[in-house]
A = this chain, B = another copy of it.
Amino acid sequence: MRAALEEAKSAARREEVPIGAVLVNKNGEIVSAQGNRTLELNDPSAHAEILCIREACKLAKAQRITDCTLYVTLEPCAMCAAAISFARIRRVVIGALDPKGGGILHGGKFYEQPTCHHKPEASHGLLAEECGQILKDFFRKRR
């Protein structure tokens, strides 16, 4: 999660919403690390999680990357929650929760739906305060 926080901080320096994600394989090695780039890439799908998945899948030459754990500083939205499931990622470790836009424990709670065909394990609260504080600082500055 420390590496994901670093990605979030990099995103903030690029004026992007500071959320970071890191994918780790079963040996504990980081296979991809990304922060939000929706502004830079003009791509509303360029959330940290999606970029991480795309990078790892490209490296693996596969559209499924099982046995991986995704560390992400903020609860993934509905789009990312579904993409994580499609990529067959085994486990998601969330920093801060997102009652306004989250899609795992909030909103449509994708993993609890019959339309979800692979349910990753999900936990939250790891370095939650730091993960949330970066976002608070970012939005305070922009007001």
| Chain A residues at the B interface, C-beta cutoff of 8 Å | 38-39, 42-45, 50, 53-54, 57-58, 60-64, 77-83, 86-87, 99-103, 106-110, 113-117
CB <8 Å contact, B45 and A108: no
CA distance A82 to B62 in the complex (A): 24
Residues of B within 8 A of A86 (CB): 44-45, 79
CB <8 Å contact, B45 and A50: yes
CB <8 Å contact, A108 and B100: no
The main secondary structure of chain A at its interface with chain B is: loop
CB <8 Å contact, A110 and B107: yes
CB distance from A46 to the nearest CB of B (A): 8
Which residue of the partner chain, among B39, B44, B60, B87, contacts A83 with CB atoms under 8 Å? Answer: B44
Residues of B within 8 A of A113 (CB): 78, 107-108
Other contacts beyond A43-B63, A44-B53: 5, CB < 8 A:
A42-B57, A43-B54, A45-B53, A78-B81, A78-B103
Which residue of the partner chain, among B54, B60, B103, contacts A82 with CB atoms under 8 Å? Answer: B103
